[in-house]
A and B are shown apart, each in its own frame.
Chain A
Amino acid sequence: MFRPRPESRSTIVAVVVEGRAVMVPEGASAAAAVLAAGFDSIRETPVAGGERAPYCMMGVCFDCLAEVDGMPNRQSCMVEVRPGMRINRQIRARRIDPKAG
């Protein structure tokens, strides 16, 4: 659905979205990488389990929540890609282990 603009070919960064390697321009957000990889959802809502994809791309709607480099519930549109970044589905609410730490 989304294609990179032809003129924006500066430095390319390779990231991994749900195990799939994706090349995105340097400075792009992790949410952009999700869309570039062709995923139509990146999380399941905590209560009803509904599918959601990045939407507002400006830090407001929280629909782009994803697990970024092991950190759950990151707003992926607010995170800039780094080489080798791993972006994974946020499945429902994050779990916490109160006994740990």
Chain B
Amino acid sequence: MERFDAIVIGGGLVGSAIAYGLARAGLRVALLDEGDVAFRASRGNFGLVWVQSKGDGAPHYQRWTRRSADEWPTLAAELLAKTGIAVGHERPGGVHLCLDDAELEARRAMMERMRVQSGNLGFDYRMLDRRELVDILPGLGPAVIGASWTPYDGHANPLYLLKALHKGFTEKGGRYLPNSTVTEAGAMPGDFRIRVAGGAIGAPKVVLAAGLGNAVLAPHFGLSAPVKPLKGQILVTERAGHVLPLPTTTIRQTVEGGIMLGDSQEDVGFDTSQKPAMMQTIARRALLSFPWLRDLQIVRAWAALRVMPPDGLPIYDQSERFPGAFTANCHSGVTLAGAHANLLAPMIAAGALDPSLALFSARRFDVSPAA
């Protein structure tokens, strides 16, 4: 049985960012990827590196997201230097467009709550009225009455990010094992054996980063990962010359010129089908924001499943029963890639999660009902 220093289960953005960070720290790492049968959220996401709406009522999540967005430029530059792959990261700030007074007031209230909750960290947001907005966003639709803005938001190309993490990982000596569905898992404290189609491997550390698969895997390691699917649908236009200087929550122009329109939130189980009604809703909202989108052809559209914890916040844990087993779950694999590679992986390499992550434990769901 081949032994490694760590086994990461899940070759999507979460697993790859962690595996990359572990390999960079000098560990001998095996990265198990399932294959085309997996749901592969990392190949269907929208590509925002988004801060401004993350962590209302959960300051620890606001801080973690901010730290990740702050790590992003370093990670992107490092990946470019080491792999030659530009992941298309830009951080021009971002806006959330509001189409009516109620939306705008709710947004203003939320942004102000987040500023208060940010404490000493600060939360540098602004509410922009229509007059300011039309100067920033050319051809803004008459339906848009205002927006929230922060300088922290940005976007990247998630597919290049995934490719760069894989390449960086293998160039650091990591072993990438595709088509490796876990068929059997043996857990003892600091000693884990994982069986896949190609044979068995062992390591003193294991990281569960299998997206929706974590729900089933976690109990084998004395962990809990109650994640559920939340479907999102995306439309992409033909490539066009650059028009949009910054991303909005649901509309962004990629470095290559295509304009991505998202994103729905549909609680429909493990269903990845595209629905014309939702595609129409997405297109209609996009046209209200930018009527000139009408001239662009849609060239691709897809649906994918987010990995959603019950409260929307990430789950990070080390098993108490089987120390050495870690779990990482979130729906923001792009945004949190900076934190996963540069902050979380070093903690796992050192063998302990930082106390600042304690609030992300799945123990938060173990609340006894009141008598």
| Chain B at the A interface: SS class | loop
Contact (Cβ within 8 A) B241 A96: yes
Residue of B138, B139, B241, B291 near A94 (CB, 8 A) is B241
Chain A residue with Cβ nearest B244: A98
Interface: A99 (CB within 8 A) = yes
Q: Interface range on chain A: under 10, 10 to 19, 20 to 34, or 35 or more?
A: 10 to 19
Q: Is residue B178 contacting chain A, with contact meaning CB distance below 8 A? A: no
Per-residue interface assignment for chain B, residues 237 to 252, with 1 indicating a CB less than 8 Å from any chain A CB and 0 otherwise: 0111101000000000
Interface of A is mostly: loop
B296 interface hit (Cβ, 8 Å): yes
Q: Quick one: given A47-B256, A47-B257, are A96 and B291 in contact (CB under 8 Å)?
A: no
Q: Is A96 within 8 A of B239, CB to CB? A: no
Would you give the shortest CB distance from A39 to chain B, in whole angstroms? 21
Which residue from chain B places its CB closest to the CB of A92 in the assembled complex? B241
CB distance from A89 to the nearest CB of B (A): 15
Give the distance to chain B from A43, nearest Cβ to Cβ, in Å: 11
A9 at the interface (CB under 8 A from B): no
- Identify the interface centre among B139, B238, B294: most chain A CB within 10 Å of its CB: B238
- Asked whether any CB of chain A lies closer than 8 Å to the CB of B290, the reply is yes
Does A1 sit at the interface, judged by CB under 8 A? no
Classify chain B's interface size. Answer: 10 to 19
Q: What B residues does A47 contact at CB under 8 A? A: 255-257
B261-296 vs A, Cβ < 8 Å mask (1 yes, 0 no) = 000000000000000000000000000001110111
Would you call A96 and B240 a contact (CB within 8 A)? yes
A34 to chain B: closest CB distance in Å? 19
- In angstroms, Cα B238 to Cα A22, docked, is 28
Q: Assess the B290–A98 pair: CB atoms within 8 A.
A: yes
Give the residues in chain B near A46, CB-CB below 8 Å: 239, 256-257
Q: Are A73 and B238 neighbours in the complex by a CB distance under 8 Å?
A: yes
* The 3 A-B residue pairs with the shortest CB-CB distance in the complex, in nearest-first order: A98-B139, A98-B138, A46-B239
Residues of chain B at the chain A interface (Cβ within 8 Å): 138-139, 238-241, 243, 255-257, 290-292, 294-297, 299
A residues touching B (Cβ–Cβ < 8 Å)?
A: 46-47, 62, 73, 92-101
